[in-house]
Amino acid sequence: YAPYLADRRVLGVAEAMFGHHVRISFTTAHINYPGNDRGGWHSDWPFNQTVASHIPAPYADVVMHLSSLFMLTHFNAESGGTLIVPGSHLLPDNPSGENGVDRDMPHPEEINVVGGPGDVFLYDSRLWHSVAENNSDQPRVAMTVRYAPWWLNLNVQREGHPDHIRIVVETKGKDSVNP
């Protein structure tokens, strides 16, 4: 899978945003089985206000982290393609904080991410998104990969690192990696 993470079509976007010294900050698989429930609106780390190591809102109007979904199966309304609110990455907060938006309710501007196996959805990590219900008879599968600039402190996500201990463990806060 590693060659895809550094594919020029993806890494080129990250380098255009952050410069030549880009790091992969997170990888995981997501499988949404048929019948899964809808999730709550949120933004990815470091903007998710429910985790201890978040950037406090209001956010600066600058891209500080990129998230991506490498689609391994079809994404559409039936299979539960991730829900997004277009343009929400430009707002100073997200529903994981106290911005008055009910994170569990549908948003009037929401749309499903649509694509097929091999497609990649790359987005500013501030973008509001949510797990969608999978009404198909097949799992919806993706790899999530996040890209960070050299200057973003990733140590807060490393178990055992002094930054993680001080900011997450000692405060008994929610971890962004192992919630």
Residue 7: partners with Cβ closer than 8 Å, 6 or more residues away: none
Could you report the per-residue pLDDT of 8-30, keeping only the tens digit for each? 999 999 999 999 999 999 999 99
- Choose among 68, 83, 70, 73: nearest CA to 37: 83
Could you report the per-residue pLDDT of 75-90, keeping only the tens digit for each? 999 999 999 999 999 9
β-strand partners of 27:
145
How far, in Å, CA of 49 to CA of 82, rounded?
20
What is the structure's pLDDT at 48? 93
- Choose among 67, 41, 30, 32: nearest CA to 130: 41
How far, in Å, CA of 26 to CA of 154, rounded?
9
What is the structure's pLDDT at 179? 52
What is the structure's pLDDT at 124? 98
Q: How many CA atoms lie within 13 A of 21 on its CB side?
A: 4
Among 1-5, 25-29, 100-104, 165-169, which is the least confidently predicted range?
1-5
Model confidence, pTM = 0.93
- pLDDT category at 37 given cuts 50, 70, 90 is very high
Spatial contact of 145 and 68, defined as CB atoms under 8 Å apart = yes
The per-residue pLDDT of the chain, averaged, comes to 94
Q: Is 27 left (phi over 0), alpha (psi -120 to 50) or beta?
A: beta
What is the structure's pLDDT at 175? 85
Mean predicted confidence (pLDDT) in 107-133: 97
Among 119-123, 124-128, 160-164, which is the least confidently predicted range?
160-164
Evaluate if residue 178 carries a pLDDT over 70: no
